[in-house]
Amino acid sequence: MKFRSLLSILCVTACASGIKPISIALDPLSPSVATSNGVERDREALRAYIGKNPTDTTLLEDAGFILDATIAEAHGDFDQALKLWYEALTRAKGVFGEKAFSGWLKSYAKKQGKFTDKSLFASQVLSELKGGSVGPWLIDKGMTTEQKILQVIDRDLADFFSAASLTEAGKINAPSVNGVDPSDPLMTRLAADVCKSKSQYGSGWDEWRHRLDDDVQRYFNGLVNQCSGQIAKSIVSLSEVVPRLATSSSTAALALEGYARIIKMRRDQGERESVAPLYIPFMKLWKNPAISEASLGLSRTQFEQRRIEDTLWAARSRASIGDGESAKNYAEDVLDYAESVLTQSYTLTSEQKSNLTATLAETYHFLAFRLAVEARDWDKASSIAQLAIDRHSFSGEWLDRIRFSLGFYRYLAGDFDQARKAWEELLTDSRDDKLRPALLFWVSQAHDKLGNKSESKFYRKSVVEDHPLSFYSVVAIKQAGGDLGDAWVGTFKDLGSLRRSVRDWQKVDIDDLRSDISRGPLLRRAEIFSSIGLQQFANNAIDDLLKSIDFQSGDRRMAVWGLYASRLYAANSNWLGAISTTTKLTKDPAFWQRSPEQMLVYFPRPYAPSFVKIAKEKNLSAEMLMGLTRQESSFRSDVRSGANAWGLMQLTPPTARRLVSAAGFSDSTAVKIPEWLLDPEHNIRFGSTFVSELNARYSGDRSKMFAAYNAGIQTVENWVERRLFDDQLIFIELIPYQETRDYVKGVWRNELVYKFLAEKAPIVLN
């Protein structure tokens, strides 16, 4: 059976309103993501709509000014752009107000062009904007002080001020020719000043530098390399000089800072395990009497917090390479330090106390979940977890995590009744809805081990009925065996009916939202922008609408409004917005029973033809690739992560370069990395090639394949060596990185849901 490529026809109010029908493109035959019409065509579409519906002029005029300002800038008319941005700023609220201010600020900076002092520039901005009183967004956000303006300047104009310093500031003055004490933390600020200036050292710098010891000079140059973006060069230069600086008490603080910088730079590049050897000399320095608050330029509280954080990182890092003894010693140091600080005489803020308490909880959990588990000493793990519970007043997420793990240790020890009791008590006590599916499933497993078949089935049915799209309903129950393996599909079995429900999604009763004085106009803006093809503006308007909706209020209307907003996101190909909003709605345990058709919004299939074609070439399933992409990027093709991963399947440039030949590109010189990673077809080809490698390496074992895609092959090899269980579900629960643990569960669940969709609504290629 072939399904229509456009699923839902929307007439959001009376058709006479001028708002055209829009569709949710869920079918694989539909366009994957609509492209922008271009700013000038967007402006014409908006102008045409207002011409037919003049009563909406005031509602939409801020968007018109934003588009006009953008067009003026594109034509090089910056004076006109500045005026238009100002007009937009005087009218716009919410996301549109932020857009207008950012646009005005950049345009104003270009026109001025002479400011090199950010504070002076911020003062001038405030003057031009009459103390922040000219627009509703400025007033709402309290943009009435230089400090507030500076925050936006640092975010939006960092490149401008670097360039301005280069062309206008000239050479910066050197510090005193008498030199600077090498242990003075001022050294870091001086290097930062050099980086910001992007200029040659001014008069006096050479004389100052030559008064420093050779190794201190090299250290300083390493700092300059780092803050100017020459990371590899900085790592090499600091790695060469820091061990020598560590031998003298006068330069011990510089050595400590140097090790911290090297570790962070290498860790940011994904070198989790390879930095472990550096922690030995780094921790040795922390015990050096020359290291003090004064030498690091920190307050007493800051000093203790940093020492604790660094020591816990050392424990994690040594554990990652199997050095359990060092990891244990460092973790015990963390407990001593943290408990000492919590009982000391100087005052801690409530936030500082909370952070230290969380660190204590994490450290106890680390000793049990990382070290005792790898030693397979379940009694030791249990005793550590119980000590943490008995000795400290932990609460919230950390207490729940420790209690859940305590049950797991008893389960692994074969004490299934104690495991059952621990988990059933937590089911009663915990307020964390995210934990409930896991608790219900593992209680069922404990009952199964005890031979309590009826109780086991009761808890499994509870998982399916209350959390039908959780990992435990879709994957774990099937893996565990029994007669409820695919019971979750019962909620969604009538896919034809669900499709009709989505097609009629405009019938959701939101008359109260339309009539709401503050929210109604936000909804209408979103619907108008959607109907005339201004996707980005539509999504911005939906963002503003959702900020006004309180999902935690318990008000049934809010859930209905959120449901409608999620489908507006989907109609504008904003899959991240649709997915994240639906996730909030699923906190209501009755959500899926009430709105099962939302699964089609929650699991969209954009780029389906590309996934199917490339999966066939690689002998993979398209559903696996889509499941992984949903987890990685929510199908955003232009996203770039903080770890320098790009595009749909979040590949880093080094990984993509390694895969060029295997991905089928014969001329490696013609491959443009990372630009190609932002192209959906190329990105899917690179990502599927990596998945194919992992599939072959792990013989299709999902738990290891997906973990390696997220955490790296070497990391998973270490886990396989030290934490392997034949039971994939146990292996997953014992993955030491929570991010990777959740990732594996998410991707595997996604794959099976997409397989269900493929069976009920097969992808048909042109």
How many angstroms from the chain centroid is the CA of residue 659? 25
Q: Is the pLDDT of residue 682 over 70?
A: yes
- For the record, the structure tokens of 73 come out as 């800038």
Q: What is the pLDDT of residue 121?
A: 87
The DSSP letter of residue 737 is: -
Quote the tokens at residue 70.
Answer: 């953008």
Query: Is the distance from CB of 263 to CB of 275 less than 8 angstroms?
Result: yes
The pLDDT assigned to 27 comes to 47
Residue 270 region by backbone torsions, left for phi larger than 0, else alpha for psi between -120 and 50, else beta = left
For residue 413, is pLDDT > 60? Answer: yes
3-state class (DSSP) for residue 640 = strand
Do 365 and 405 meet the contact criterion of CB atoms below 8 Å apart? yes
Q: Report the pLDDT value the prediction gives residue 169, as an integer from 0 to 100.
A: 39
Q: Which residue has the higher pLDDT, 609 or 766?
A: 609
Which pLDDT score, from 0 to 100, does residue 5 have? 30
pLDDT of 751 > 70? The answer is yes
Q: Name the range with the highest mean pLDDT among 53-57, 169-173, 496-500.
A: 53-57
Average pLDDT estimate for 669-698: 93
What is the torsion angle, in degrees rounded to the nearest 10, for the CA atoms of residue 210, residue 214, residue 219 and residue 222?
80
Residue 35 per-residue DSSP state = P
Amino acid at 692: S
| Span 344-382, pLDDT tens digits | 866 788 888 899 999 999 999 999 999 999 999 999 999
pLDDT tens per residue, range 612-634: 999 999 999 999 999 999 999 99
Res. 499 pLDDT band, cuts 50 70 90 = confident
Q: Which of 89-93, 274-278, 341-345 has the lowest mean pLDDT?
A: 341-345
Is the pLDDT at 502 greater than 90? The verdict is no
pLDDT band, very low/low/confident/very high, at 194 (cuts 50, 70, 90): low
Structure tokens at 225: 């390399």
Contact 737, 711 (CB under 8 A): yes
Alpha-carbon distance values, 45 to 73, 539, 541 (Å): 19, 17, 17
Of 76-80, 293-297, 308-312, 747-751, the range with the lowest mean pLDDT is: 293-297
The pLDDT-based confidence of 31 (bands split at 50, 70, 90) is very low
Kindly tell me if the per-residue pLDDT of 482 is higher than 90: no
User: What mean pLDDT do residues 645-656 have?
Assistant: 94
* Dihedral-angle region of residue 14 (phi above 0 means left; psi in -120 to 50 means alpha; beta otherwise): beta
Per-residue confidence at 32, pLDDT binned at 50, 70, 90? very low
Contacts for 41 with CB less than 8 Å, ≥ 6 apart: none
Domain boundaries, the chain: 39-168, 495-602, 608-760
Q: Three-state SS string across 167-223, please?
A: HHHCCCCCCCCCCCCCCCCHHHHHHHHHHHHCCCCCCCHHHHHHCCCHHHHHHHHHH
* Distance separating alpha carbons of residues 581 and 585, to the nearest angstrom: 6
pLDDT over threshold 70, residue 225: yes
584 residue type, one letter: K
Rounded Cα distance, 328 and 370, in Å: 10
Give 166 or 649, the one with higher predicted confidence. Answer: 649
Q: Which residues contact 662 (CB under 8 A, 6 or more apart)?
A: 689, 692, 693
- pLDDT score of 23 more than 70: no
Q: What is the pTM assigned to this prediction?
A: 0.88
Beta strands in 414-572 (DSSP E): none
Q: Which pLDDT value is given to residue 115?
A: 65
Segment 715-722 mean pLDDT:
92
Q: Which CATH architecture has domain 608-760?
A: Orthogonal Bundle (1.10)
Closest Cα partner for 703 from 411, 488, 479?
A: 479
